[in-house]
Chain A
Amino acid sequence: NAGVTQTPKFRVLKTGQSMTLLCAQDMNHEYMYWYRQDPGMGLRLIHYSVGEGTTAKGEVPDGYNVSRLKKQNFLLGLESAAPSQTSVYFCASSWTRYEQYFGPGTRLTVT
């Protein structure tokens, strides 16, 4: 089992560009999450999903959109990137609201 995978691992964007981050899990988990982690700080929840076709806002949803068309995939979109969105993005999944399994992260730089 690959667990949770994220694509891409690194990305550099210019202000105003758009991109989509892909998260995939092969554990048949219902719950999936997108977090951002800024240097020296904790994880902040952007959006999450409790099942295929559902999404909900987390703590810091502004500037991001998500979709969960298939149970195993959770996509995070940035429509118009801003320097404030420079961060490391982690995807996670879980059976219920408990133990979360994290992907390796995507390091995004917006110039």
Chain B
Amino acid sequence: QQPVQSPQAVILREGEDAVINCSSSKALYSVHWYRQKHGEAPVFLMILLKGGEQKGHEKISASFNEKKQQSSLYLTASQLSYSGTYFCGTDRPAGNMLTFGGGTRLMVKP
């Protein structure tokens, strides 16, 4: 079953912060985050494997609450280059495949 992402879209000014959420109704082994710019392929940002773990990628970090089956992506001091659609992908313990959410469209304005 597809994970649910929220919000569906967000508009920011440069320097503002944003949080994107991803939740699943099923037990998860890991959560992956990807960013896709318009007309391009998705690009890997990070993977979270354990409950409560946080990881960072420049000014982008994420957390994974295994018990709640939720992950959040934190974008701080946003830059114009952060614009794009962010997808979470969830991986179940017995699986070899990712199930992606519907995406969150992020637009950063000057």
Contact = CB atoms under 8 A, between A and B. Distances in A.
Instruction: Choose among B32, B100, B103 the residue with the greatest number of A CB atoms under 10 Å from its CB.
Output: B100
A96 to B, nearest CB: 9
Interface stretch (A13-21, A37-45, A68-76): A37-45
Nearest to A91: B41
Given A42-B103, A98-B47, A99-B47, A105 B41 contact: yes
Contacts of B98: 45, 100
Given A48-B96, A100-B44, 8 more contacts: A42-B102, A43-B100, A48-B97, A50-B96, A97-B96, A99-B32, A100-B98, A102-B43
22 contacts: A33-B97, A41-B102, A42-B87, A43-B42, A43-B87, A43-B89, A43-B100, A45-B97, A45-B98, A56-B96, A59-B97, A59-B99, A97-B91, A97-B96, A98-B30, A98-B47, A99-B32, A99-B47, A100-B32, A102-B42, A102-B43, A105-B41
